[in-house]
Structure 1
Amino acid sequence: MCTRIFWNDNPIAKTVARCMDWAVSDEPELWYVPAGQDRTGDAGPGSHTWVSQQASVVVSMWGIGTVDGLNSAGLAAHALYLDPADVSFPLPDERPVVAHTMWVQYLLDNFATVADAIAAVGDIRIVAPLLRGETFGVHIALEDTTGDSAIIEPLEGRMVVHHGPEYTVMANSPTLDQQIENLERYRPFGGELPPPGDITSPDRFVRAAYFLHYLPEPASVDEAVAGVFQLIANVSVPYGAPYADGGVYPTWWRAGADLTNRTYYFGSTRSPGIFWVDLPALAGRTEVLRLDPRDTSLVGDETSRLEPAALRY
């Protein structure tokens, strides 16, 4: 489950927020990964290898890959769940391989803009190894300091790219083209229906787009960040709230970024506070740093509390 919202039409700062919804905690850890790190696609034989060109602040899940983050160039990337029934990754070929759990990290390590990342989308092949014994579908959202945006979905054996500043909202299934078609049934997007209130992915998509449309211009960077966090809270799923099939997939955390000023924000839904990490303040640091983002004492600027650690994935 999950939702992503990008506010790119205000003159103060380009800001983004996303939530992480799942049946169990993804055991997030927050990392500062400097440039110059040797990395691998973690996909077995034929895995791509690279050296990170950008530093990044990222969130890992289950210690096996990166699910969200911001790099030093102001590019942000987010992996959201897409129903495996909707997903079809490219068939084997000669390209180097990257596991979908390392897709976000690959993008943040190697690219400075959305346009650069999209131009190279065919250079590697994304695969979906079993994750805790299950098959997970995934699609990716990207945005940068210019306000550019893209959604990448693996469909019918190819990467379908929706590229442009108009792609400001993403949720889960169905695919983005179907989400947009559904959105047109609602006002002010062409239809007459009022915004819906359920926790389903289509309803969250519409609600996110609706309230983003009406956000007033912020007077400060703080208001630009607070705006997307208010919206992502609106589409978050409270603990215990069931879907129609009885499944419960609450929001475990919310993260966001001020792309303009290179600041990454995080808030656990088990904590009353939000904290942030200032990427420019870490410029020149060459060691990997870590922070437990579920620590409920974290609030405000916590850049100084990151500590050296061995990267575990």
Structure 2
Amino acid sequence: MCTSLTYQNSRGDHFLARTMDFAFELNGQPMFMPRNFTVQGDAGEFTTQYGFIGAGRKIGHEMFVDGVNEHGLGVAALYFPANAHYVQHADADKQGIAPHDFTAWALGNAASVEDLRQLVQEIQLVDVPVALLKITTPLHFIVSDPTGDTAVLEATNKDLQLLDDPVGVMTNSPDLGWHLQNLSTYGTLTAEERPLHDYQGYQLKTQGPGTGAFGLPGDYTSPSRFIRTVFAKHFSQPTPDIPSTLNLLQHLLDGVTIPKGVKLKADGESDYTQYRGYMSLEERAYYMEPYDNAELQRVVLTDDMLANCHEPINYALAHQPHIKELN
């Protein structure tokens, strides 16, 4: 399971951030994918037009779960159990893409969300399993770009289209429409303290600030994480630059980050936040924060990389937390 959100700071910088929540150890790491590179995808090969960076792993071929490309398009894949429906074989006039290859295909071929709206009409997601997991992963995808345009792709039938995401938040099942309707249940929540009534002449004593959020769900289910993230994003104080925005995004994701052991699956395995990824869209930078090290680790997509690097690059993460001694 996962949580994602977009954010625009007061300077106009755009971001896409996400938690990667999963029980199976994905061992994701920052990766660079060059322009004009042919990927041997599980449903057929495709070639990147644009270079990009993100989090992924090579399992037979390079697979990405999120990232940002040279035009500032950000994409993140999230689990979508019991709702994703894929075709067995692509139609003759469509290109077949495995669901776990969609992120790399989109980052490698779309320059914007509007561009992707057109391109997805040319593909279909095919029921092909990931070799490592032995299952076809049920996924949906949130996409955003430096214009602030944000949408979600949900493969609920063979014809794909992007759905506008007006709140810039996505979690897991149910679908986006359900989450937006459910949001109305919590439409009276506020960051301000609510005054208490005088009952039968008895003046209630205040419990202090925070009463405006009475009813805000605190569990780790997808609907609750969606509501909590929209609330925190909406009422958070604006930030003026990239460092302060990254710090804010870390705090926003704190509210939905899952420690090991507190969310167990039926088989007893712990579904937890393996890493948190932050895509700085105008900066064309990817920041990764693994579970065991809260220090952000950055890779920037430079013009030199795009012009001179012609093979994928893997970047090693530092997993030991650093504690600074104060003098």
The answer to whether the superposition gives a TM-score over 0.5 is: yes
Counterpart for residue 130 of structure 1: 129
Question: AA paired with 2:309?
Answer: T
Corresponding residue of 1:67: 65
* Percent identical: 25
1:141 matched to which residue of 2? 142
Whole-angstrom distance in 2 between the partners of 1:243 and 1:275: 29
- Which segment drifts farther, 286-295 or 144-153? 286-295
Contact 2:87/2:127 (<8 A) preserved: no
Q: In structure 1, what is the equivalent of residue 99 of structure 2?
A: 100
Shift of 1:21: 0.6
| Paired residues of 1:48 and 1:124 also in contact (CA < 8 A) | no
Residue number in structure 2 paired with 1:285: 308
- Whole-Å separation in 2 of the counterparts to 1:298 and 1:115: 41
Larger Rg: 2
Q: Tell me how far 1:4 sits from its aligned partner.
A: 0.5
Distance 1:142 1:12 in 2: 18
Given the alignment of the two structures, is residue 56 of structure 1 paired with residue 52 of structure 2, yes or no? yes
Contact 2:189 2:214 in 1 (8 A): no
Query: SS of the residue aligned with 2:186?
Result: coil
Q: One-letter code of the match for 2:69?
A: N
Aligned-residue CA RMSD (Å): 2.5
Please say if 1:221 is aligned against 2:247. Answer: no
Deviation sequence 1:2-35 (CA, Å, 0-9, x none): 0101013643411121011111211113211111
1:156-305 matches, within 5 Å, as 156-163=157-164, 166-188=166-188, 194-243=215-264, 248-280=270-302, 282-287=305-310, 288-293=312-317, 295-296=319-320
Deviation digits for residues 248-284 of structure 1, max 9, x if unmatched? Answer: 3100000011112111100101113111111126342
Q: How does 1:7-156 map to 2 (within 5 A)?
A: 7-8=7-8, 10-43=10-43, 47-50=44-47, 52-61=48-57, 63=59, 65-83=63-81, 85-90=82-87, 92=89, 93-94=91-92, 95-131=94-130, 132-156=133-157
1:90 positional shift = 3.8
C-alpha displacement of 1:298: 9.0
- For 1:143 and 1:89, how far apart are their aligned partners in 2? 23
Amino acid at match of 1:290: N
What CA distance in whole angstroms lies between the structure 2 residues aligned with 1:49 and 1:261? 26
The alpha carbon displacement at 1:244 in A equals: 8.1
Q: Tell me the distance in 2 between the aligned counterparts of 1:279 and 1:188.
A: 42
How far 1:153 moved relative to its partner? 0.3
SS in 2 for 1:86: coil
Contact 1:185 1:192 (8 Å CA) reproduced: no
Distance 1:161 1:193 in 2: 34
Aligned mates of 1:173, 1:250 — CA distance in 2: 17
Q: Please, which moves more after superposition, 230-239 or 151-160? A: 151-160
Deviation at 1:91, TM superposition (A): 5.5
**Secondary structure of 2:121 counterpart:** coil
Distance (whole Å) between structure 2 residues aligned to residue 220 and residue 13 of structure 1: 8
**Aligned-partner Cα distance in 1 for 2:235–2:129:** 41
1:311 equivalent in structure 2: none
Moved more, 149-158 or 276-285: 276-285
Could you list the per-position Cα deviations for residues 201-224 of structure 1 after superposition, in whole angstroms to 9, with x for gaps in the alignment? 110010010000012111222112
Q: Kindly indicate whether the alpha-carbon contact (under 8 Å) linking 1:29 and 1:291 is maintained by their aligned counterparts in 2.
A: yes
Long gaps (5+) in structure 2: 191-211
Give the count of matched residue pairs.
Answer: 293
The answer on whether the counterparts of 1:273 and 1:296 sit within 8 Å (CA) in structure 2 is no
Q: What's 2:204 paired with?
A: none
CA contact (8 A) 1:199 1:243 kept: no
Give the Cα separation in 1 of the matches to 2:322 and 2:167. Answer: 32
